[in-house]
Amino acid sequence: MTKKSTVIEFLALAAIWGSSFLFMRLGGAEFGVVPTAGVRVIVGALVLVPLLWASGHWSALRERAGTILLIGMLNSGLPFVLFAYAVSSISTGLSAILNATVPLFGALVAWWWLKDRPDNRRMLGLVIGFIGVLLLSYDKASFKAGGSGWAVLACLVATFFYGFAANCTKKYLTGVQPLAIATGSQIGASIGLLLPTLWFWPTENPGTSSWLALLALGVLCTGIAYVLYFRLIGQLGPARAVTVTFLVPVFAILYGTVLLDEKLTWWMLLCGAVVVLGTSLAAGVLRPPTRR
């Protein structure tokens, strides 16, 4: 694998995950919140199951099925529902910026649960990151009728679940084949969301464009994206691969402004940069220069 191809895959994954907010908005308009998430994980599972079977690692999923399926609801099912709800009332760009706080919550959960106390640099990153979130959302966090406070809160709860699930994976699934975890997560989320999806299924069959949006969400943004992500982990290592999340808002904002005519302000860009800076420090990705 050449350096150039790794960079291409890195950018491709950021572009794909950035498009997930667009597809949730387009599909969710007719499907509704829960069916949008349900169809996404079911399609994602259908893509990943044959790949796991062909890889010869099916036994890895079978041996740890209970834990993997449960983590799937925390890592996919619930967050996908929350983000599908959020993008119905706030911009896809804002949702993507808030999504970049996942490492912040991951670090906090690790500190609280796994007693992995962050050093001073990472602590500074946590403070900077959450200041960025507060600056970004303080004027939007109205919980009155017509306000977007619940949508912003939904994004933050979703990112908390992502961070919590990451620590569960570290604690209980260390050493388990990554594709088995990814596939099992989608299966677990599919099982958990199946009945709610059927219950909330729209009375009128959604149009072709909405179906195509959800198929893209499941096949491209879930199935293929996971394959690319685990390839990058193998090529770059987990710490460097996770930095792809910092590019996701760039693509999400681009899609939202160009295709959905969403408003982009300098304040969003500035606060987004603060969030990414803090997250980079908290995740240990960005390190200040050492004195000599």
3-state secondary structure of 140: coil
**In whole angstroms, what is the distance from residue 240 CA to residue 287 CA?**
13
Closest to 161 measured CA to CA, from 67, 76, 223: 76
Is the pLDDT assigned to residue 290 strictly greater than 60? Answer: no
Cα maximum dimension of the chain: 67
At 200-226, the pLDDT tens digits run 999 999 999 999 999 999 999 999 998
What lies within 8 Å, CB to CB, of 46 at 6+ separation is 218, 223
Q: How many CA atoms lie within 13 A of 143 on its CB side?
A: 3
Distance CA(162)–CA(113), nearest Å, equals 15
Q: Where are the domains of the chain?
A: 3-282
pLDDT band with cut points at 50, 70 and 90 for residue 15 = very high
pLDDT at 249: 87
- Beta carbons of 187 and 69 less than 8 angstroms apart: yes
Lowest pLDDT segment from 46-60, 89-103, 128-142, 173-187: 128-142
pLDDT digits (tens, 9 = 90+) for 226-254: 888 877 877 776 656 777 877 888 899 88
Distance CA 80, CA 189 (A): 9
Q: Is 153 helix (H, G, I), strand (E, B) or coil?
A: helix
Instruction: Check residue 244 and report its DSSP letter.
Output: G
CA distance 10 to 142: 36
- Local structure of 44: helix, strand or coil: helix
CA distance 2 to 5: 5
Q: Rounded to the nearest 5°, which phi and psi values hold at 291?
A: -80, 145
